Amino acid sequence: MLIKRPRPGDTARIAPSEITPERVYVSRRELLQGALALGAGAAAPALALGATQRSLQFARNGRYSTDEKLTSYEDITTYNNFYEFGTAKGAPAANSGRFKSMPWSIGIAGEAEVTGTFSLEDLLEPHALEERIYRMRCVEAWSMVIPWVGVPLGAVLKRFKPTSKAKYVAFKTVLRPDEMPGQRSRVLAWPYVEGLRIDEAMHPLSLLAVGLYGKTLLNQNGAPLRLVVPWKYGFKGIKSIVEIRFTERQPPTSWNLSAPHEYGFYANVNPNVDHPRWSQARERRIGGGLFDSRVPTLMFNGYEQEVASLYAGMDLAKYY
C-alpha cells in the first residue's frame, strides 16, 4: 500500500478450468486432515499447491451475501496484497509455494476464561462452514466480490469465554522468514498484526475464512485461516493467523504503526474521508469491463445498514 503498482503480467496464472466449484462433500475434519497430510510433504511450487486444495462442505448464507457479479477465481488468487511474500500484486501467488499451511495451530490468549493452543481442526470442528459473498474494498481504491467460505468469528470467540475486560481482539500473522521472503525485508514491522473492537469482532458479518470458491484458501489468500471484515478496508483482513488475543487496550495494528496519518485503527470504508494521497470516492472493480470498472464507493462498503450502529456518536473523520 506504500507502493501503487500496475497489475503484473501473466505471473502464476491459474487455469479457469480450475475454478469450477466442485460440490464434493467430505467432513470438515477429513478435509482438514487430508490437507494436513499433503501439506506435510516437500515444498511445492506455487501452482502445484493447488493440488493440496480440498473442496469444502458448506451452505450459502443468503442473508449476508450480495448478488453482485463474482470476481474471477483467477483475479482473486493472482492480484493480492500479502507483503510477507513481496509487495507486487503477483508476488504472493509467485512466492508463496514454500509456505506450509498445514499442520496449523492457533494460540488463544489474554482476557478469556479459556486460553491455550488449539489445532485448526479443533478450532473449527464445532462450527458449520458458511459461504458468504462479500464485497471487498482495498484502501488502494480497488474492489472485488469474493465468495468466502468460513465461520462467523463471534461464534468461535464466544467459546473461549472472553471476560468483561476483553474490550478488543488482537490478531497476529505467523512469523516465518524462511518461508515468507517478504519478511526478510523491512517493508513492514513483522509479524503483521491487526485488531478489532470486541463488538466489531462479535458482529455477525465478521468472518474467519478458510476457503473461497468452495475450496480451501491458497497461500496467497491467507491459508489456512484469515479474517474477513467486509465493511472495512482490506488491510484489516489479516492472513495466516496464529494468535488471537483478547485485550483490555486497543492493540497496535501494522499499517497504523507504519503510517499513522494514512491508516487508522478503525479503517471503515468511508468515501467521504480521502486517503491523504488519493480519493476514496470511487473504486475500480477488478475484472470489470472497460467502461463499468469504476464504481462509486459506498459508506461502510455498502454494509451501512448492518454496521452503522456500532459507530453511533463517533466522529468518523477523526476515527478513520
The residues binding ligand MTE (CB under 6 A) are: 1, 80-84, 138, 173, 192, 221-222, 234-235, 237-239
**Considering the complex, what minimum distance in angstroms separates the CB of residue 193 from ligand MTE?**
9
**Considering the complex, what minimum distance in angstroms separates the CB of residue 74 from ligand MTE?**
13
Amino acid found at 241: I
Residue placing its CB nearer to ligand MTE in the complex, 53 or 81:
81
Residue placing its CB nearer to ligand MTE in the complex, 63 or 277:
277
**Considering the complex, what minimum distance in angstroms separates the CB of residue 139 from ligand MTE?**
7
Q: How far apart are CA 231 and CA 143, in angstroms?
A: 12
- Which letter does DSSP use for residue 19 in this model? G
CA distances from 289 to 14, 153, 191, 284 (A): 20, 34, 37, 10
**Is residue 106 a contact partner of residue 117, using CB atoms and an 8 Å limit?**
yes
Q: Which three cell numbers stand for residue 265?
A: 485503527
Q: Which three cell numbers stand for residue 248?
A: 483490555
Residue placing its CB nearer to ligand MTE in the complex, 228 or 307:
228
Residue placing its CB nearer to ligand MTE in the complex, 162 or 207:
207
Residue placing its CB nearer to ligand MTE in the complex, 151 or 229:
229
Query: From the CA atom positions of the chain, what is the Rg in Å?
Result: 18
The residue sitting closest to ligand MTE, measured at its beta carbon, is 234
**Is residue 76 a contact partner of residue 135, using CB atoms and an 8 Å limit?**
no
Residue placing its CB nearer to ligand MTE in the complex, 192 or 246:
192
**Considering the complex, what minimum distance in angstroms separates the CB of residue 164 from ligand MTE?**
30
Residue placing its CB nearer to ligand MTE in the complex, 81 or 206:
81
Q: How far apart are CA 242 and CA 35, in angstroms?
A: 17
Residue placing its CB nearer to ligand MTE in the complex, 104 or 235:
235
For residue 132, give the 3-state DSSP assignment.
Answer: strand
**Considering the complex, what minimum distance in angstroms separates the CB of residue 98 from ligand MTE?**
16
Q: Which three cell numbers stand for residue 112?
A: 478469556
**Considering the complex, what minimum distance in angstroms separates the CB of residue 239 from ligand MTE?**
4
Pairing mode, strands 105-110 and 241-247: parallel
**Considering the complex, what minimum distance in angstroms separates the CB of residue 106 from ligand MTE?**
14
For residue 234, give the 3-state DSSP assignment.
Answer: helix
Q: How far apart are CA 84 and CA 42, in angstroms?
A: 20
**Considering the complex, what minimum distance in angstroms separates the CB of residue 113 from ligand MTE?**
28
Q: Which of 134, 169, 139 is nearest to 150 (CA)?
A: 134
